[in-house]
Amino acid sequence: MKLSSEYDVAIIGGGPAGCATALALKQQGISKILVVESGRYETVRIGESIPPDTRLLLDELGILEDFLQENHETCFGSCSSWGSDTLGYNDFLCNPYGNGWHLDRRRFNAFLAQKAMERGVELLCGTKVRNCDRTHPESFQLQLMGEDKQTRAVTASFLVDATGTRGSFARSLGARKLFLDRLICAIAFFDLPPDSHFSKLTLLEAVEYGWWYVAKLPNNRLATVVASEPSIIKDTGLHRMENWLAYLKETKHISKELADCSAIDSLSVSSTPQAKVPKIMVCTAPSFRLDQSTGNGWLAVGDAASAFDPISSQGIYKALWDSLKAGKAIASYLHGDSGGLEEYESLIASRFDNYLTQRNYFYQMEQRWPASPFWQRRQERTGLEKANLLAYASI
C-alpha cells in the first residue's frame, strides 16, 4: 500500500487511546487519519481489568459486538483485604451492565488496531515518531523512523499525543506534568496448572509496604502484581524473583489462593529445570495530569493527558472515554471551532479532581500501619487539592 504523506490527523501511539481516537474520528467523518505505533502488538502489555460500563464506550465506538466475540476472561468484581485483615467483596452482581473483564492486553490492543484499520485508518507499526515541528501555522511535520532506520516525513493538520505516560509530544509543545504520585509495580505473568480453578474476582491485598493484586487472564494465565514506592522496591529487592516470591508467600490471602490452586509451585525458582520460570517485569505507575492537555492544533489522550493509580482500574476506560470526547473536539476544530478543545481541556481537569477524591478516600481506608512510609506518604497527600497538586509539579 502506498502511504500518503498528508493527513488531517496524525496520532502518535497505537495503544487503546490512540486507536480508539482514530475510531472516534472516523465516526466524525474525518477521512485521512494516520496512527504511528512503535511496537507491533506482539509483546506482553500490562493492565487488564475493565469495569462493566466499559461496554457503553465500546458500543459508542461501534465495536462492542466484535469485542464480545474476543472471549476475554469475565470478571465478577473484586475481593479485597484493605483496611482490615478479613476479605470484603465488591461484586458486579447488581451492576446494571453485568460483568467486567480481565483482558489479554496484547490481544485487546491488537483488536483495537485491527478495527481502526478496517474503518480505513492508516496504521504504521514498528515505526517511531522521532520529533514533530510546527512547520506552518496550520500543520505539523512529523519525522518517522522505521525498524530499518529509514526515515520519512509526513504532515498533519492536527496532532494527537497518545504516547502513554511519556506524553512526549505534548511536553515538547509546552505542557508540563503535574505529578501526584509515582508508584513502581513488579509483575509476573504465569500459567495456572491445567484444570485448576481460580476466582473470577480480582484479588487485592494491602500489606505494610504497599499492595498486591492477582487477576486471572484468558488462556489460564495469572497476572500477579505488587505496587510500592521506588525506594521500598529497591530496599526490599522486590524487583528480583526470589525476593518477590518470598514477599508473595508472606501475604495472607493471595498466597493462600495461589497455594490452593497449586499456582505458587509454578513460580518456585527451584522448580524443575524444564519449568519456565516467569520473569519479573518492573514498570512505573505514576499519577499525574498535564497542566495543559490541548493547544493550537493538538491534544493529548489517555495516559499522555492524565495517568491514574492502577488501584483505580480506570486506565483503559479513561483512554476510551477521552477518545470519544477528543474525536468530537478535533472534528469541530477542523471545521473552524476551537471551543471543543476548551471543553475537552476542562473535562480532563475535572475528571482528575474526581479521581483524586476517590483515590484519597481509598488510601485513607487503610489505617493498619501508621508507621509505614508507604501508607504515610499516600495519606499525608489526601488533602491534596489543586493548589497542593501544583506544589508537586515537575517537568
Ligand X SMILES: Cc1cc2nc3c(=O)[nH]c(=O)nc-3n(C[C@H](O)[C@H](O)[C@H](O)COP(=O)(O)OP(=O)(O)OC[C@H]3O[C@@H](n4cnc5c(N)ncnc54)[C@H](O)[C@@H]3O)c2cc1C
Encoded one letter per residue, x for contact with ligand X by CB under 6 A and - for no contact, window 294-333 reads --------xxx-----x--xxxxx-x--------------
Residue 23 and residue 28: Cα distance in Å, rounded? 9
User: Is 358 in a helix, a strand, or coil?
Assistant: helix
Tell me how far, at minimum, the Cβ of 271 lies from ligand X, in Å: 25
Look up cell 472471549; give the residue: 71
Encoded one letter per residue, x for contact with ligand X by CB under 6 A and - for no contact, window 257-296 reads --------------------------x-x-----------
State which residue, 212 or 375, has the beta carbon closest to ligand X: 212
The stretch near ligand X (CB under 6 A) out of 3-11, 46-54, 146-154, 173-181 is 46-54
CA dihedral of residues 310, 313, 315, 316 (deg, nearest 10): 140
State which residue, 143 or 220, has the beta carbon closest to ligand X: 143
Encoded one letter per residue, x for contact with ligand X by CB under 6 A and - for no contact, window 116-135 reads ------------xx------
Residue 302 and residue 17: Cα distance in Å, rounded? 5
163 near ligand X (CB under 6 A): yes
Which residue type sits at 389? L
Tell me how far, at minimum, the Cβ of 304 lies from ligand X, in Å: 6
Tell me how far, at minimum, the Cβ of 194 lies from ligand X, in Å: 26
Name, in order, each residue with C-beta under 8 angstroms of 334's C-beta and a sequence gap of 6 or more: 8, 9, 30, 157, 158
- If one counts every other C-beta atom within 10 angstroms of the C-beta of residue 201, the result is 22
> Which one of residues 23, 34, 38, 334 is an interface residue with ligand X (CB under 6 A)?
38
77 near ligand X (CB under 6 A): no
The stretch near ligand X (CB under 6 A) out of 14-22, 63-71, 86-94, 339-347 is 14-22
Contact 36, 143 (CB under 8 A): no
142 near ligand X (CB under 6 A): no
Cell reading at 220: 489460564
Which residue type sits at 19? C
Tell me how far, at minimum, the Cβ of 130 lies from ligand X, in Å: 7
State which residue, 30 or 301, has the beta carbon closest to ligand X: 301
Number of residues written out for the chain: 395
Look up cell 505539523; give the residue: 140
Residue 320 and residue 183: Cα distance in Å, rounded? 23
> Which one of residues 7, 9, 10, 15 is an interface residue with ligand X (CB under 6 A)?
15
Residues 164-223 binding ligand X (CB under 6 A) are 164, 166, 168, 185, 187
> Which one of residues 225, 254, 290, 299 is an interface residue with ligand X (CB under 6 A)?
225
Residue 225 and residue 186: Cα distance in Å, rounded? 6
The stretch near ligand X (CB under 6 A) out of 30-38, 290-298, 339-347, 377-385 is 30-38
Strand pairing of 77-81 and 88-91? antiparallel
Which one, of 302, 314, 354, lies nearest residue 54 by Cα?
A: 314
75 near ligand X (CB under 6 A): no
- If one counts every other C-beta atom within 10 angstroms of the C-beta of residue 200, the result is 17
Look up cell 514498570; give the residue: 283
Look up cell 465516526; give the residue: 27
State which residue, 263 or 307, has the beta carbon closest to ligand X: 307
47 near ligand X (CB under 6 A): yes
Tell me how far, at minimum, the Cβ of 78 lies from ligand X, in Å: 10
Question: What does the longest C-alpha to C-alpha distance in the chain come to?
Answer: 65
Residues that bind ligand X (CB under 6 A): 12-18, 36-39, 46-50, 128-129, 162-164, 166, 168, 185, 187, 225, 283, 285, 302-304, 310, 313-317, 319
